[in-house]
Amino acid sequence: MQIVFSFDTEDYVDPVSNDALKALAQSHTRHDMPASFGLVGEKARFLQARGRRDVIEAIAEHEIAYHSDHHFMLPDTHYEDTFTPEYMEKAGWDLAVARLSAEESRGVRDVERICGKRPRTWLRTYGDWAPQVLAALDRVGIRVFAYGPPFHIEDPRPIWYCNQLVVANPRMMYEQNLHRDDMSAAEKLAAHKQTLSDHLEKGTARLGVVTHPTRFISDVWWEEPNLWGGIHQPPPRNDWTIPPRFAPDKSKELLWIADRFIEFASEIPDLEPVTFGDFEKQLCQQQSWLDRNQVARLAEGMDSRIRWAEVDGIPVSPAEMLALFALATAEPDMNILPIRPMMGPTEEPLASGEPKPMPHAALTTAARRLENGLRDRACVPACVRTAVGPVGPGACLLALAEALRNPEAETITLPADPGLPEPLHEDDYKRLGARPPCTYIQKRGEFEFPRTTRLGQLQYWTVKPALPEEWV
């Protein structure tokens, strides 16, 4: 069984949290168990401002991941909304992605500058699975999305979604029993060991052990006295307070439990410790070109459905396939064609009606226009203009596949649009529609997120397995 230790490293209020962070990093180093520390940008700056080079050096022994710049608040007061998911919901796709890219580029830069390692993994925050966040992270060089979107949070098979390598797995919340007053330290440690042993026994493929360093110093979240009073009008930073802390002996006890558990895990021969960065090295696609024969074989496999496909072990998403087929149709003399990362539709796609014939030459003209649009926008359009009227992107994809299968045909059928791609799991769209992009705040009833939820479904155009043979 693979095991991934990860730490959402976010408390930039209480300096004592830095001591807990250092102790946890040193425990993992001492027992030769790699971990992923997902730093908030402001946390990295907090460490620097406090002169904690010792903490920075301790966590730099492990994977330095990213956990947003300010955790879920956007401090630029020139914008009306400072709560990330609220802004994403109200703004259009382009404005939201541009703002998030600008905000998060600072955090990524500072984490790299301060820690000496550029983060390549995103440990999901309150921004959760919202596709606007993933699109922005793609722009600033993040490649791995840890913990996964709602349709893929417990499936250990890695996939691609919004051009991010999604690595998810069943999770063990490290802090689950830590704060219980009815258990001794020995009982808490025993419970952790038993949970790990149970996963080994039942054959869990990969287990994520997740916690927050701040939970080793307090039973009160660091944001609670400062931000939970109202997202719309958070108090000025100067008015923030430090939550009540545990007594030093209590924190020492909790860190002892963690150290003993890490040691226990390190001694199990059937455990393979990995970090999220390991998956980037193994699975980020190296093949970025296909020859015309391979593209033709992709087209041969297309029928009335839209779904990911693979050729010679290379997975291709529906969005990437649309770009491949458009270029292959528009430029029939090209023998080598690129696999280009594409986002799915950012507006509601047109639902095409009855099938209708279209001259092959007119489809070629439409493919040239589509290709130019894809170069400019790098996303699936909501509709495609053709000589017989606008059609949905799904209908266009199937028509282009037919044209590649039958290059001599004078007429190509534009089918009725099949809608969204076929899901990997039967209930994927239901799960995307049922879970809002910020479940923590949503439980408090402050916001609704219908636009972002729908965008999450539309971005299913970008889904493909990272290891296609596992999905056969």
Q: Residue 193: what pLDDT?
A: 96
Q: What is the pLDDT of residue 16?
A: 97
Tell me the percentage of the chain whose pLDDT exceeds 70: 94
Helices 450-458 and 131-139 pack at an angle, to 10 degrees, of 60
- Exposed, middle or buried by CB within 10 Å (0-12, 13-18, 19+), for 425? exposed
pLDDT at 443: 60
Q: Does residue 63 contact residue 36 with C-beta atoms inside 8 Å?
A: yes
Here the tokens at position 36 are: 């992923």
CA 129 to chain CA centroid, nearest Å: 6
Give the pLDDT of residue 78: 64
- Contact between residue 237 and residue 166 where contact means Cβ atoms under 8 Å apart: no
pLDDT at site 444: 63
| Average confidence (pLDDT) per 10 residues, the chain, 472 residues | 96 96 98 98 97 98 96 70 79 92 94 97 86 94 93 92 94 84 94 96 95 94 80 73 94 97 96 95 84 96 91 95 97 95 96 88 96 96 93 96 94 92 94 82 73 95 90 66
Domain with CATH 3.20.20.370 in the chain: 2-283
pLDDT one-digit tens code per residue, 435-452: 888 766 666 667 788 999
- Prediction pTM value: 0.94
Q: Which of 128, 123, 213, 205 is nearest to 170 (CA)?
A: 205
pLDDT by residue (tens digit) across 254-273?
999 999 999 999 999 999 99
Fold of 2-283: TIM Barrel (3.20.20)
pLDDT at 240: 87
Separation of alpha carbons 290 and 311, rounded Å:
9
The phi and psi torsions of 252 (rounded to 5 degrees) equal: -60, -40
Q: What is the pLDDT of residue 383?
A: 95
Q: How far, in Å, CA of 159 to CA of 464, rounded?
A: 6
SS (H, E, C) the chain: CEEEEEEEECCCCCCHHHHHHHHHHHHHHHCCCCEEEEECHHHHHHHHHCCCHHHHHHHCCCEEEECCCCCCECCCCCCCCCEHHHHHHHCCHHHHHHHHHHHHHHHHHHHHHHHCCCCCEEECCCCCCCHHHHHHHHHCCCCEEECCCHHHCCCCCCEEECCEEEECCCEEECCCCCCCCCCCHHHHHHHHHHHHHHHHHHCCCEEEEEECHHHHCCCCCCCHHHHCCCCCCCCCHHHCCCCCCCCHHHHHHHHHHHHHHHHHHHCCCCCEECCHHHHHHHHCCCCCEEEHHHHHHHHHCCCCCCCCEEECCEEECHHHHHHHHHHHHHCCCCCEEECCCCECCCCCCCCCCCCEEEEHHHHHHHHHHHHHHHHHHCECCCCECCCCCCECHHHHHHHHHHHHHCCCCCEEEECCCCCCCCCCCCCHHHHHHHCCCCHHHHCCCCCCCHHHHHHHHHHHHHCEECCHHHHC
Tens-digit pLDDT profile for residues 103-124: 899 999 999 999 999 999 999 9
- What pLDDT, on a 0 to 100 scale, did the predictor assign at position 448? 84
